[in-house]
């Protein structure tokens, strides 16, 4: 059954009525610019054709009653008034509760609703299943209460929910591209000004995601540690963020830093340079240069930022052998497991699938999943 049909069936079963409204927000894959967003730097992600969908109808009271297909149709409810307590037995709903809290804290009154949620973004794979749920929830809650707030603000509200309510100190990339992605394009996002530029994915090139299915361990604590390490170097240089340091500045004062701090910072400042170049060469169809930049990015997150795992490095090696100089491959997302992204000519996709099928499990004991994606539009009413 198609995902929307499943959602309608869940809604009818739970609430005994037809849903009136539908909203969607996509997951994302980051082509390049990793762990640069919270350093006020540059990122180049695209929204993908995997998404969260919400079906909803308004209620006459101020209660939000919500169910999720991925959690056996578990139902949870709360009043749309501050404070909203986190749920201990329906923890998935804390994304919804966090977004409602952030909206109410901005002084936006929210009308009650019945809501059902479904999605096909793999959870915990680094493809932003939580960010798209946050953005989709924000869109549904505001549109149903006649608040016409911008997609950019919805992204900021989603990030606030994740930072304050869920406790992951993430940057703005995931929510922003889920809210504002454009079909056929990646988004160059300046994470300081929040200015964006649409960057065309070249004709004939395909975005392929390979999920290592390696369980991501310690990801939140390691993520927050990396962020603190970056902030400490920025403080040492007496600048607001690593965005304000060039590669030359870092090299000139390298001896003032301990070795790990230096490598963390070197990843970030060199990644910004690579990301800006990628935004120039990709729309020109220069997959060869794009491949070099993605390869350098992967080495940098592996050796300097130390957020890859052997399974991920294995996939990168397998795919690199298949595509050679005709595209790029690197780990994508927060790290410590998750996914690899390849930007490759369409005619390499079958060979990538075959190489992964014949080598990955033998080398790691895990089976990978492969998603051939289209760069998609951001959040919308359906
Ligand atoms: C996670 C975070 F949520 C993003 O903000 C970003 O920092 C990313 O990791 C790494 O680039 O997805």
Indicate whether residue 170 lines ligand 1 (CB < 6 A).
yes
What average pLDDT does this structure show over 225-237? Answer: 97
List of residues 6+ apart from 336 with CB closer than 8 A: 216, 217, 218, 219, 222, 307, 309
Indicate whether residue 171 lines ligand 1 (CB < 6 A).
yes
| Residue 227 pLDDT exceeds 80 | yes
- ipTM, two decimals: 0.99
Nearest CA residue ID for atom 5, ligand 1:
171
Residue 147, Cβ density class (10 Å: 0-12 exposed, 13-18 middle, ≥19 buried): middle
User: Per-residue pLDDT tens for 28-67?
Assistant: 999 999 999 999 999 999 999 999 999 999 999 999 999 9
Tell me, in angstroms, the distance from the centre of ligand 1 to residue 13's CA: 36
The pLDDT assigned to 219 comes to 67
User: Per-residue pLDDT tens for 84-112?
Assistant: 999 999 999 999 999 999 999 999 999 99
Q: Which residues form the catalytic set?
A: 174
| Residue 12 pLDDT exceeds 90 | yes
Indicate whether residue 174 lines ligand 1 (CB < 6 A).
yes
The pLDDT assigned to 218 comes to 58
What average pLDDT does this structure show over 361-380? Answer: 97
Tell me, in angstroms, the distance from the centre of ligand 1 to residue 101's CA: 22
Q: Residue 1's pLDDT band (boundaries 50, 70, 90)?
A: low
Tell me, in angstroms, the distance from the centre of ligand 1 to residue 374's CA: 21
The pLDDT assigned to 124 comes to 87
User: Per-residue pLDDT tens for 197-211?
Assistant: 999 999 999 999 999
Indicate whether residue 34 lines ligand 1 (CB < 6 A).
yes
- The CATH code belonging to domain 2-198 is 3.30.230.10
User: Per-residue pLDDT tens for 142-193?
Assistant: 999 999 999 999 999 999 999 998 888 899 999 999 999 999 999 999 999 9
Which of 130, 227, 294, 334 to probe ligand 1 with, by most ligand atoms within 8 A of CB? Answer: 334
Q: Which residues are annotated as a binding site for substrate?
A: 34-37, 223
Average pLDDT over the chain reads 96
Fold agreement between 2-198 and 205-373: no
Q: DSSP letter for 346, please.
A: G
In the chain, which ranges are E strands?
21-32, 42-58, 63-68, 74-79, 113-119, 185-190, 196-200, 205-211, 328-332, 339-345, 369-373, 380-381
Q: DSSP letter for 122, please.
A: P
The pLDDT assigned to 167 comes to 83
Q: In terms of CATH, what superfamily is 205-373? A: GHMP kinase, C-terminal domain (3.30.70.890)
For the chain, the structural domain boundaries read 2-198, 205-373
User: Per-residue pLDDT tens for 301-345?
Assistant: 999 999 999 999 999 999 999 999 999 999 999 999 999 999 999
What average pLDDT does this structure show over 126-138? Answer: 96
| Position in ligand 1 atom list of the atom nearest CA 36 | 11
The pLDDT assigned to 215 comes to 82
Alpha carbon distances (Å) from 73 to 39, 57, 352: 39, 17, 36
Tokens of 164: 């304050």
Nearest CA residue ID for atom 7, ligand 1:
35
Indicate whether residue 173 lines ligand 1 (CB < 6 A).
yes
């Amino acid at each position: 059954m198609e995902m929307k049909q499943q959602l309608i069936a869940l809604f009818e079963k739970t609430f005994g009525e037809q849903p009136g409204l539908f909203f969607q927000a996509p997951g994302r894959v980051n082509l390049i610019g990793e762990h640069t967003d919270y350093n006020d730097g540059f990122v180049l992600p695209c929204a993908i054709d995997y998404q969260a969908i919400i079906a909803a109808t308004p209620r006459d009271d101020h209660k939000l009653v919500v169910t999720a297909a991925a959690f056996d149709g578990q139902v949870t409810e709360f009043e749309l008034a501050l404070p909203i307590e986190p749920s201990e037995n329906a923890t998935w709903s804390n994304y919804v509760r966090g977004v409602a809290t952030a909206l109410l804290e901005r002084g936006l009154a929210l009308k009650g609703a019945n809501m059902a949620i479904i999605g096909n973004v793999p959870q915990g794979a680094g493809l932003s299943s939580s960010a798209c749920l946050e953005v989709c929830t924000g869109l549904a809650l505001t549109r149903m209460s006649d608040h016409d707030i911008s997609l950019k603000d919805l992204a900021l509200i989603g990030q606030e929910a994740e930072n304050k309510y869920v406790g992951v100190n993430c940057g703005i990339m995931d929510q922003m591209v889920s809210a504002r992605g454009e079909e056929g394009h990646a988004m160059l996002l300046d994470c300081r000004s929040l200015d964006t530029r649409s960057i065309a994915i070249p004709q004939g090139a395909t975005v392929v995601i390979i999920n290592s299915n390696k369980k991501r361990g310690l990801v939140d604590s390691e993520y927050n540690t990396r962020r603190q390490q970056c902030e400490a170097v920025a403080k040492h240089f007496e600048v607001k963020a690593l965005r304000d340091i060039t590669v030359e500045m870092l090299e000139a004062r390298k001896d003032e830093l301990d070795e790990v701090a230096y490598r963390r910072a070197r990843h970030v400042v060199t990644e910004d340079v690579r990301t800006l170049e990628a935004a120039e060469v990709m729309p020109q169809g220069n997959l060869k240069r794009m491949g070099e930049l993605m390869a350098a990015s992967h080495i940098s997150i592996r050796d300097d930022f130390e957020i890859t795992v052997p399974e991920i490095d294995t996939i990168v090696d397998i795919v690199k052998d298949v595509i050679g100089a005709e595209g790029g491959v690197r780990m994508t997302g927060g790290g410590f497991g998750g996914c690899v992204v390849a930007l490759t000519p369409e005619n390499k996709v079958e060979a990538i699938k075959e190489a992964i099928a014949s080598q990955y499990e033998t080398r790691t004991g895990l089976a990978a999943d492969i998603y051939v994606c289209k760069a998609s539009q951001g959040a919308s009413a359906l």
